[in-house]
Amino acid sequence: MWLVKFLLVLSLFYQVSCVFEKFYCNILQSCDCEFRPNIRDLEWDLYKNVYGQHLAQDIVSEEVGRFLENKSPDRPLVLSFHGSSGTGKTLVSSMLANHLYGSAMNSPYVHQFIPTLHFPVPQQVKKYQEELKSWVQGNLTECARSIFIFDEMEKMPPGLIDVLEPFLGPSHVVFRTNYRKAIYIFISTAGEEVINKAALENRQAGRDREEIKLADLQKDIEQTLYNNNTSGFFQSRIIQQNLVTCFVPFLPLSRRHVERCVHSQLCQQGSCGRSDVVEAVGGNMIYSPIQGQYFSTTGCKAVPAKINFFL
Ligand SMILES: *[C@@H]1O[C@H](CO)[C@@H](O)[C@H](O)[C@H]1NC(C)=O
Ligand SMILES: *[C@@H]1O[C@H](CO)[C@@H](O)[C@H](O)[C@H]1NC(C)=O
Ligand SMILES: *[C@@H]1O[C@H](CO)[C@@H](O)[C@H](O)[C@H]1NC(C)=O
């Protein structure tokens, strides 16, 4: 009999201590899951391993650094990555996850959504909205520092993403948690025409790539997203209310950048010295426009397959 009592008391004690811990975390906001940000490593990785993206490198390291310095941000960090495929958008998003939560995409606090997988049927937007909202809310209750990555936004059914509006702003909607510490990353090819056009004009004018400024692109990307029904942000309130902290352009890559990708991949495979393969893969890409052949149409995307072919 005393054993049963003893166990009862023990389990009661355990429950109370859990409740107390949650209470304590909410008050002090100091139990941030396994959040272990390392900004210095993030910057190093960005500047060393992402090629040809001065805007993305600067913006991501600045915005993330500033956001994490603030112990009680008044709104979450919302970054939207844009550019053609193979320019490094997914690479940068996984670097972020990697340096904020040691275990990258495998962390239980990094959530990735892929429309073709999670939201495949456009007719079911209503159902998906309910699901997405309850997931995000549930995830934030478990961990205020959650990271949400939305890949392939151009395939997102129009209207779905607006369900996140209350989570993204500084509004006073109160959930049980501090939802302002979250990080949201949107990834899409939408806006690539605007970005590629700016890069082409810059190149044709014989200017340095680094002279392309964020201010030249920001508004145009935003407008394209808002007006295009395959951007994921068609007539979105998230755009209307300026809830995206920054639109991050990824520029098209030229041959020298592609060759750096090849070289770095080769080194990872222990074949640093094979400059013949670097040359062969670089020469095997398709470059556009026909007049000038400035930019690789697939960025660094096809590099691993081509290395296997030429190695
Ligand atoms: C968190 O989000 C995932 C989807 O990434 C979902 O499957 C899971 O149920 C959510 N967790 C909670 C507690 O809602
Ligand atoms: C919307 O974007 C797609 C993909 O970028 C493009 O092909 C299409 O022409 C755009 N539509 C309009 C109306 O601008
Ligand atoms: C998107 O816009 C284009 C042209 O503006 C239109 O032809 C098309 O039907 C629209 N698609 C959807 C899914 O609304």
User: Are 64 and 42 in contact, with CB atoms under 8 Å apart?
Assistant: yes
Average confidence score pLDDT of the chain: 89
Is the pLDDT confidence value at 24 over 60? no
Question: How far, in Å, CA of 147 to CA of 107, rounded?
Answer: 10
Q: What is the DSSP string of 45-90?
A: HHHHH--S-HHHHHHHHHHHHHHHH-SS-SS-EEEEEE--TTSSHH
Task: Report the residue among 111, 140, 147 best suited for mutation to probe ligand 1: largest number of ligand atoms under 8 A from its CB.
Answer: 111
Whole-number Å distance, alpha carbon 227 to ligand 2 midpoint, is 9
Q: What value does the mean pLDDT take over residues 74-93?
A: 96
DSSP state of 253: P
Question: How far, in Å, CA of 58 to CA of 68, rounded?
Answer: 16
Q: What are phi and psi of 81, to 5 degrees?
A: -95, 135
135 lines ligand 1 (CB under 6 A): yes
Q: Residue by residue, what is the 3-state secondary structure of 87-125?
A: CCHHHHHHHHHHHHCCCHHHCCCEEEECHHHHCCCHHHH
Is the pLDDT confidence value at 30 over 90? no
142 lines ligand 1 (CB under 6 A): yes
Domain 39-249 homologous superfamily, CATH: P-loop containing nucleotide triphosphate hydrolases (3.40.50.300)
What was the pLDDT predicted at 82? 98
Q: What value does the mean pLDDT take over residues 219-231?
A: 96
User: Are 97 and 110 in contact, with CB atoms under 8 Å apart?
Assistant: yes
Q: Supply the pTM of this predicted model.
A: 0.89
Whole-number Å distance, alpha carbon 287 to ligand 1 midpoint, is 42
The domain spans of the chain are: 1-31, 39-249, 255-310
- Supply angle C-alpha 147, 149, 154, rounded to 5: 160
108 lines ligand 1 (CB under 6 A): no
Residue 5 marked ligand-binding: no
CA dihedral 8, 13, 15, 21 (to 10 degrees): -170
